[in-house]
Amino acid sequence: MKIEERLKDLGITLPEVARPVASYTPAVLSGAYVFVSGQLPLVGGRLKFEGRVGREVSVDEARECARIAILNGLAAVRNVVGSLDKIKHIVRVTGYVRSGEDFKDHPRVLNGASDLLVEVFGDAGVHARSAVGSSGLPLGAPVEVEMIVEVQA
């Protein structure tokens, strides 16, 4: 795969990785896996949208949040292994959608992340996924997305 080239062709620039001010880190390499911390839809250090999906934030806006969050996650992976070309497979994605009792469209929201992964990685981007609702998320974010990625040893 020439994923770094493909990113350029798609006109996608990964964001800078902000090191969290805490005892944890955006991504950890362990064996053949990179475990990525829960990513928020931060652009330049600020939430792109804030609020509950289905109320203050629309499903389309939340889809965009999922896409931004997964781009932040890919940036964290690159920061740890040097290049996205080292990724063998996107293994699992878990997405949390801040939403109320009656919200049912979590999968549509998470497609913002899943579709981006397949757009960039093709078959190697097809992953296992869980999409769930959350009563609230850090900073008031509408979406949080984490993932596990298999990389070349």
Interacting residues toward a second copy by CB under 8 A: 20, 22-28, 30-32, 35-38, 52, 89, 91-94, 96-107, 111, 114-115, 117-118, 125-140, 144, 146, 148, 150
Strands across the sheet with 143-151, in order?
27-30, 33-39, 143-151, 87-98
CB of residue 11 to a second copy, shortest distance in Å: 19
Judge contact between 42 and 99, C-beta under 8 A: no
Backbone phi, psi, residue 102, to 5°: -100, 0
Q: Is 14 or 148 the residue whose CB approaches a second copy more closely?
A: 148
Judge contact between 64 and 143, C-beta under 8 A: no
CB of residue 32 to a second copy, shortest distance in Å: 6
Q: Is 26 or 61 the residue whose CB approaches a second copy more closely?
A: 26
3-state secondary structure of 49: coil
CB of residue 102 to a second copy, shortest distance in Å: 7
